[in-house]
Amino acid sequence: MPRGEKSKYTDKQESKADHIAEGYEKRGVSDKEAERRAWATVNKDDGGGKKEGGSGRGKHTGHPAAHKGGKSGGKASASRSAASRSESAKKAAATRKRNAEHRAH
């Protein structure tokens, strides 16, 4: 398969790349560079094309680049009082306990 061939990408991956490229173009990046960056992002997210190859195995699509949790978190929590955070933690613990009991049945 020649470099740059897109036949193994799903329709969802192609539309994702188009959407990403549009965003770059709106910010003034050239068409060619926007497309290159968009496909690089799709590859980073999905690890390449997902259509079945010769082995007949499709691949699962995770979305690691779409989840940037932890980078900017904590600000909302830090601005709340200790009592408020404690109350939330107790409520969450009670919910987890209730859900665990529910699943056990």
pLDDT at 21: 94
Q: What is the pLDDT of residue 4?
A: 73
Cα–Cα distance measured from residue 70 to residue 73, given in angstroms and rounded to the nearest whole number: 5
Q: What is the pLDDT of residue 60?
A: 60
pLDDT per residue rounded down to tens, the chain (105 residues): 567 778 888 888 899 999 999 999 999 999 999 999 999 988 888 777 777 666 555 566 566 666 666 666 677 777 889 999 899 999 999 999 999 988 877
pTM of the entire predicted model = 0.51
Give the CA distances from residue 11 to residues 16, 74, 88, in Å, rounded to whole numbers and listed in that order. 8, 37, 42
Residue 8 CB contacts under 8 Å (≥ 6 apart), including other chains = 1, 48, 49, 50, 51, 53
| Alpha carbon distance 96, 88 (integer Å) | 12
